[in-house]
Amino acid sequence: MLVNLRSHNGRTARSLNLNYTLSEMLIYKMLGSIPFLKTNTYDNILKKPE
């Protein structure tokens, strides 16, 4: 039972993380259309260590 619960929670966490990453990419892509924000924010996000 505990193994199944952990497995389910793991899949949920990965799914939420993927959704968050995609939405974050969309946000910074839109912000990236502004040169100032692209230089100071978008590039820093890309260089952020995992």
- CA 34/CA 37 separation, integer angstroms: 6
The number of distinct structural domains making up the chain is: 1
- What's the rounded mean pLDDT across residues 15-43? 67
Residue 1 has pLDDT above 50, yes or no: no
Q: What is the pLDDT of residue 38?
A: 52
Residues 6+ apart with CB under 8 A from 28: 41, 42, 45
Q: What is the pLDDT of residue 42?
A: 58
Range of the domain at 24: 2-47
> Rg of the chain's alpha carbons, rounded to an integer?
16
User: 8, 7, 48, 14: which is closest to 28 by C-alpha?
Assistant: 48
